[in-house]
Structure formats: C-alpha cells, structure tokens
Amino acid sequence: MSNYYDKNLSADKLKKVYEVAPPRTKQYLQAEIDFVLNNIKSSDTILELGCGYGRVLKPLAQKAQTVFGIDSSPANIDSAKEYLSEFDNIQLSVMDAAELSFKKSSFDKIICIQNGISALHVEPQILISESLRVVKRNGQILFSSYSDKFWEDRLEWFRIKSKYQLLGEIDWDKTNNGKIICKDGFSAQTYSKADFRELMLKFKLSYSIEEVDNSSVFCTIENK
C-alpha cells in the first residue's frame, strides 16, 4: 500500500480526484489551505510533505518566500513542475518523507495536510521525528486529518472517486469509524483529536489542536 498513489493515483488521475469533488469537499479543501496561509509569513521557507501535483504549493508560493515540495511519485513531481512552471520560488524533489535529505533546521514551517499523516503511509513517529529534525527552532509543523463531522461528506467524495474508477470499489464491510477500505488495496484511516494527543505525548511536544470548518482537525506542533 505504501506506493498505491505512485502506481494508481498520481499526476492526471490525482488532478481528476479534485476536479470531481462535490461542493462541500471543495469547501473543506479550501478551508485547509486558508488555515495554512493564515499561519505562514512572507519571509518563511516552507516544506510540503506529499505535494502531489502542486495543488497546495501554488497558494503557498504566492505568500511564502521559498517553498519546497516533495513526493514519492516521479509522475507527480513531473506534473507539479508543469503546473507550477510560472513560479521561480518553488523547488521540487522526488523524496521519501521518512528519509528527508535536507539538513537539520532548514525550514520555518512544514506542512502535511489533507490527512497526509495517514495517506503517506509512513509511521507517524518517523514522520514527526524527521519533520522535527528539519524544522527550525521556533518553527511549526502542521498536520491535518478529517473531523468526524465530515464523515458522510468524505464517503460521498470516495463514492464519486470510485464511480470514476480513480479508486477501487469501496469495501463497505470494512469501511467504518473513520477508516475507508477499497477492494483494490487502498486504505486510509483518520487521526482524531485524541489520536493526535496520544502521538504528541510520546514526543512531549508543545502543540495545539483545533477543528477547522467542521471538516478538518489540525495539529500544530511548536518546535520550542
């Protein structure tokens, strides 16, 4: 499953995922971007983990000084280079979020949204440890997952993706309690506020958790 997106859902197919999203889902996607933008400065150097074709990088690049995007899919990075060709403050690399090749304390902010903490299929402890290594002191790391209030809307979006054959058929016997399983091997879970708190306790980090738009749960880590 670790390379599901690389093999089955990258580049043009990934773009289609967002094109077919229903209005409530598009509202959720924009609310996440707005939350991130409200937390960055024009002088910031930003890293996005799992940047896909550059959907989030574009608005970030319009505000931050420098933006880096990494993705494990070469097809996504090629697509992002085309999608973001007008920007000269974006750097893109094929890279595993579990083994970042950046130097210690390289970034002011690290972004991993739209349930990336699950979608990247990297052990959360490793993802957080690597992010802490490359974020600057007093920098921030922003993770997001889905609010349980968004469950029915999330299911509707997945039904649509399945209908367009962007994902396999949903396995309704196994899909419940925030976890979605498809018969082609796709799986995605949800990190609740309690799940994020449990993770943060393991690291003894300074953090805040808040719900946004009744659709996202954001965990913001402060690297004190």
Lowest-confidence segment of 3-17, 34-48, 156-170 by average pLDDT: 3-17
With cut-offs at 50, 70 and 90, classify the pLDDT of residue 70.
Answer: very high
Q: What is the pLDDT of residue 1?
A: 40
For the whole prediction, is pTM greater than 0.75?
Answer: yes
CB 135 within 8 A of CB 141: yes
With cut-offs at 50, 70 and 90, classify the pLDDT of residue 8.
Answer: low
- Mean pLDDT for the chain overall: 94
Does position 10 have pLDDT exceeding 90, yes or no?
Answer: no
Structure tokens at 186: 């796709």
Phi, psi (rounded to 5 degrees) for 68: -115, 140
Does position 9 have pLDDT exceeding 90, yes or no?
Answer: no
CA distance 35 to 84: 21
Q: What is the pLDDT of residue 204?
A: 86
Mean predicted confidence (pLDDT) in 140-147: 98
With cut-offs at 50, 70 and 90, classify the pLDDT of residue 3.
Answer: low
Q: What is the pLDDT of residues 150-208, one digit of tens each?
A: 999 999 999 999 999 999 999 999 999 999 999 998 988 999 999 999 999 988 889 99
Segment holding 59, helix H or strand E: helix 57-61
Does position 2 have pLDDT exceeding 60, yes or no?
Answer: no
CA distance 72 to 94: 5
Mean predicted confidence (pLDDT) in 104-114: 98
CB 144 within 8 A of CB 216: yes
Phi, psi (rounded to 5 degrees) for 109: -140, 145
Structure tokens at 85: 């060709």
In the chain, domain spans = 4-222
Fold of 4-222: Rossmann fold (3.40.50)
CA distance 63 to 210: 23
Q: What is the pLDDT of residue 13?
A: 87
